[in-house]
Homo-oligomer: A and B are copies of this chain.
Amino acid sequence: MNQKKSTLASVAQLAGVSIKTASRVVRREPNVSASTRHRVEEAMREVSYRPSIAARATVGSRSYLIGLVFDNPNSNYIVDLLRGAMHQTREEGYHLIVEPIRSQDTSMIHELRRLVVQSNLDGIVLPPPICDLPEVLEVLKQQSTPYVKIASSESSGGGLSVGMDDVSAAMAMTSHLTDLGHTDIGFILGRQGTATTSRRFEGFQRAMRERGIAVKPEYIYEGDYTFKAGLLAGEQFLNLASPPSAIFASNDEMAAGVTMAALRRNLVVPDDISIAGFDDSPISTMIWPPLTTIRQPTQAISQKAISLLINDLREIENEDANPTLPFDLIVRGSTAPYQ
């Protein structure tokens, strides 16, 4: 049960070669005769040899350490990111260093540089909103530390990035509502100035246009992703002479606010009004009825990000350096056919 740890030396001895040659086989370097290679591989298998990352890290320029910094109020998102990243990092024989940073602080750049230098990071994962800070990218370029951006606002400038197609997702949700027979659909935008906000709105508009349904100006509300904005939007929509029969909020918190506005007026969700959110955040199942929403494949995204980054480190060409991962439309109790 309890096995002793095997080393390169033990492999070399068993194969009757020098440590250096054993190393060459392990690292798949050229200039080893087929028979020697075979003998060493046999020995590796016999003692179930696994190279020590620690020892490798002390010597070479590689640390086998990937960093993941975060500064995002959405803890759920962060934890999902962590799960995916940790899984893939371990899978590839690397380790993950996680660091909370405060992107507002002036000392942040200094801390980031210290992290990269001191921990000798091989690469770093940049979730939003950090991936959109030019200073951060600048520092990493200076230190020539490879990075991968997650859900970045800007189209990647030649670097690595992973994201989700917000436009298609918003289109899918809109289609879900129109398929249920809704034509009077209220839309609540997120905070101005973020790429996500405009992409989701674009998806809504495009789907409506494709179906030939006009979008009434009074059915558009400018929110800011908060519960309260949803509450206000809901009240405004429901005060209309002809209120919408469905409301699509750009995130779940706002959709929860709309739900509360509807309940306040003794409306039954989804019979009297359908409500849809976006993100599949915890609140979406905490309220009643649970929200129909869009799930971002966060774990898969961070997994992919790690994978891209490590391929890059190994100088393996990534067939797609800026992939976009598929989302899920989660239909729950808050949406129903128009009646």
Binding site for B on A (CB under 8 A): 1-6, 48, 50, 52-58, 63, 73, 75-76, 78-80, 82-83, 86, 95-100, 113-114, 117-120, 142-143, 226-228, 231, 253, 256-257, 260, 263-264, 266, 282-283, 286-288
User: Known contacts A142-B2, A288-B227; is A53 also within 8 Å of B54 by CB?
Assistant: yes
User: Known contacts A2-B142, A54-B63, A98-B82; is A287 also within 8 Å of B260 by CB?
Assistant: yes
Q: In the assembly, what is the distance between CA of A117 and CA of B49, in Å?
A: 11
Contact A3 B75 (CB under 8 A): no
Query: Which residues from B are CB-within-8-Å of A266?
Result: 264
Contact B82 A100 (CB under 8 A): yes
- Sample of 5 further A-B pairs with CB below 8 A, known A3-B113, A54-B58, A253-B286: A6-B118, A48-B118, A50-B118, A75-B75, A79-B100
Contact B5 A120 (CB under 8 A): yes
Between-chain CB contacts (< 8 Å), 19 pairs: A3-B113, A4-B117, A48-B114, A50-B118, A54-B54, A54-B58, A75-B78, A75-B79, A75-B80, A75-B282, A86-B100, A96-B98, A98-B98, A227-B288, A260-B260, A260-B288, A263-B264, A264-B264, A283-B286
Query: Which residues from B are CB-within-8-Å of A56?
Result: 54
Query: Which residues from B are CB-within-8-Å of A63?
Result: 54
Q: In the assembly, what is the distance between CA of A86 and CA of B100, in Å?
A: 9
Nearest chain B CB to A326's CB is how many angstroms away? 23
Q: How many copies does the complex hold?
A: 2
User: Known contacts A3-B114, A58-B52, A75-B79; is A227 also within 8 Å of B100 by CB?
Assistant: no
Q: Which of B3, B52, B79, B95 contacts A79 (CB 8 A)?
A: B79
Contact B117 A226 (CB under 8 A): no
Q: In the assembly, what is the distance between CA of A263 and CA of B256, in Å?
A: 13
Q: In the assembly, what is the distance between CA of A279 and CA of B120, in Å?
A: 38
Q: Which residue of B lies closest to A49 (CB)?
A: B118
Q: In the assembly, what is the distance between CA of A264 and CA of B227, in Å?
A: 17
Nearest chain B CB to A223's CB is how many angstroms away? 13
Q: Which residue of B lies closest to A120 (CB)?
A: B5
Query: Which residues from B are CB-within-8-Å of A257?
Result: 288
Q: In the assembly, what is the distance between CA of A81 and CA of B79, in Å?
A: 12
Query: Which residues from B are CB-within-8-Å of A282?
Result: 73, 75, 282
Q: Which of B2, B114, B287 contacts A143 (CB 8 A)?
A: B2
Contact A286 B75 (CB under 8 A): no
Nearest chain B CB to A10's CB is how many angstroms away? 12
Contact A226 B286 (CB under 8 A): yes
Query: Which residues from B are CB-within-8-Å of A231?
Result: 288
Q: In the assembly, what is the distance between CA of A86 and CA of B115, in Å?
A: 13
Query: Which residues from B are CB-within-8-Å of A117?
Result: 3-5
Q: In the assembly, what is the distance between CA of A56 and CA of B288, in Å?
A: 53
Q: In the assembly, what is the distance between CA of A95 and CA of B63, in Å?
A: 14
Query: Which residues from B are CB-within-8-Å of A287?
Result: 227, 256, 260
Q: In the assembly, what is the distance between CA of A114 and CA of B90, in Å?
A: 12
Q: In the assembly, what is the distance between CA of A118 and CA of B95, in Å?
A: 12
